[in-house]
Amino acid sequence: MMKNIIPENPPFKLLNILYKKEFILLMVLLSIIFINSNVTPYFLDLYNLIDSTFLFSEKAIIALSMTFVIIARQIDLSVASIIAVSSCVLGYTTSVGMDTYLVISFTLLSGTMCGAFNGFIITRFAIPSIIVTIGTMSLFRGLAYSFLEDQYYNKFPKFVVSLGSDYLFGYIPYAFLTFIILSIIFAFILHKTIIGKRIYSIGNNPESAQYTGIQVDKYTFVLFTLNGLFSAIAAIFLSGRLSSVRPNIAFGWELEIITMVVLGGVYIYGGSGSILGVVISIFILGMLSFGLGLINVPGVGIIIFTGLLLILSIGFPSFIKYFRSKNE
């Protein structure tokens, strides 16, 4: 009597690769590069491409920690306001003559404390993160306005200015290099460690994760604290690059950062997503903004494109589900 043999691996299907989020995102990125390179001859210029990373590197750094937050079924709308607070602390500590290491330490501490405040309110009082961070978005931005009013800071340590505007070996911006290194670290943590598995478990079902022994509140608190820290890191790079801090600095960035994450295939309701997808989506938005800027599309147009991409990225799982059902 013959026994049915079950293959160890499922049969290869080309459609399984074609429907992969990362593959689709890669095709979109290549299409944007192809179109932009044919629309303007300045797009593929090496120095222009290098300089274009300044458009998204600070946002991309926060997008990495935001990926963890969203996978864990949370959201943080206060990151841009934390940048404003941290930048004010950076400018103030510089203006009173503190040493560079103290300036950077206090800046990082301020962002970390803002993130920890979010995490504490969310976990201690069981308030949805979207409500808490909408409130702290206004709170932190208001602190920046009350601190600076109509003034601004334009003096920073040389080290901070160098971090924000200089290049390693004359080619790689420090902010972009930091983003690449952090991407590798975050990818390893999320996809290769028990920490990443627990974050996915929390995002899939927080109650079940709690019953299996995962300290959901502890992870939530740490993730929001980490988000605050990375917002402060971005504030250092951004302030150094602009050489100026005003209370409206990074205004509206929270939308772009969340778009980077969700467009990258991270499910808005948590539980799924990858760092690779987020990294590709960051380059998609960066190259799109760079190309539109080269052909003199106004900033309003770029904002409209960002909004459309956010809508499409949120509906992406439904679109894929629909097309797959048609081919099965």
- 88 within 8 A of 114, measured Cβ to Cβ: no
The helix or strand, by DSSP H or E, that contains position 167, with its residue range, turns out to be strand 167-168
Q: Distance between CA 31 and CA 263 in Å, rounded?
A: 16
Domains along the sequence of the chain with CATH: 50-251 (1.10.3470.10)
Q: 252: left (phi > 0), else alpha (psi -120 to 50), else beta? A: left
- Residue 284 identity (one-letter amino acid): I
Start-to-end Cα distance in the chain: 33
- 62 within 8 A of 79, measured Cβ to Cβ: yes
- 243 within 8 A of 153, measured Cβ to Cβ: no
pLDDT per residue of the chain (328 residues) written in tens, 0 to 9: 444 444 455 555 555 555 578 888 899 899 989 999 998 888 888 889 999 999 899 999 999 999 999 999 999 999 999 999 999 999 999 999 999 999 999 999 999 999 999 999 999 999 999 999 999 999 999 999 998 877 888 889 999 999 999 999 888 999 999 999 999 999 999 999 999 999 999 999 999 999 999 999 999 999 999 999 999 999 999 999 999 899 999 998 998 899 899 989 898 899 999 999 999 999 999 998 899 888 887 777 777 877 777 777 666 666 666 666 666 6
Q: Distance between CA 186 and CA 78 in Å, rounded?
A: 21
Secondary structure of residue 172 in the 3-state scheme: strand
Compute and round to an integer the Cα radius of gyration of the chain.
21
Secondary structure of residue 153 in the 3-state scheme: strand
Q: Distance between CA 183 and CA 200 in Å, rounded?
A: 18
